[in-house]
Amino acid sequence: MSTITMKDADDSKHHYCAACGDSDSDDGGGSLKACTACNLVKYCNRTCQIAHRPAHKKACKKRVAELFDVKLFKQPPPNEDCPICYLRLPIEGVQNTYQSCCGKMLCGGCVYANTVAAADTEKHKCVFCRTEGSSSDE
C-alpha cells in the first residue's frame, strides 16, 4: 500500500496515511510525515510507520537506489562562462580551449572567430589577454 493522493473539486491535494488510511485534513491539516528515505509514502505517526515497514521496505530500497543513481550520474553544470562572449561553456572539453597564459577557459567559437578574423601576426596571440604564445617545442 502506498500514499494515496486525490483531488477534490477545489483542486487541493489530500494525502492519506499509507498504513491506516487517515487523511492529512482529518486532524487539522498537514500532519502526515513522509518516509525520510524515499519520500514516497506518508504516515500519521511512528506506530503506523513501524506497522507498514515490512510492506514498504522493498519499494523504499528500490527508490533510494534510484535517487542515489540520479545523484551519482548527474552531469555537472559548466562551472563558468566564456569571458569573451559570456555564453555557457560546453560540457564537452573538446569544445573548450584552456589559455595557460591567463588561466582562462574559452569557448571554441571565440577561438575560431579570432583565427578567422585576426591578421597573420595576431594569430599566435592569446584570444583573451593578447600575450604572445610560446614558440618553443619544450
Residue-wise pLDDT tens digits, 1-32: 444 444 444 435 678 898 888 887 654 556 88
Give the residue with greater pLDDT, 113 vs 118: 113
Q: What does the pLDDT read at residue 58?
A: 93
Q: What's the chain's average pLDDT?
A: 79
Q: Are 46 and 78 in contact (CB under 8 A)?
A: no
Q: Are 96 and 106 in contact (CB under 8 A)?
A: yes
- Judged on CB neighbours under 10 Å (0-12, 13-18, 19+), 19 is buried
Q: What is the mean pLDDT of residues 30-44?
A: 88
Question: What letter represents residue 102's amino acid?
Answer: C
Looking only at the bridges linking them, the beta strands covering 96-99 and 104-107 are antiparallel
**Is the pTM above the cut of 0.75?**
no
Give the residue with greater pLDDT, 13 vs 53: 53
- Distance CA(110)–CA(132), nearest Å, equals 17
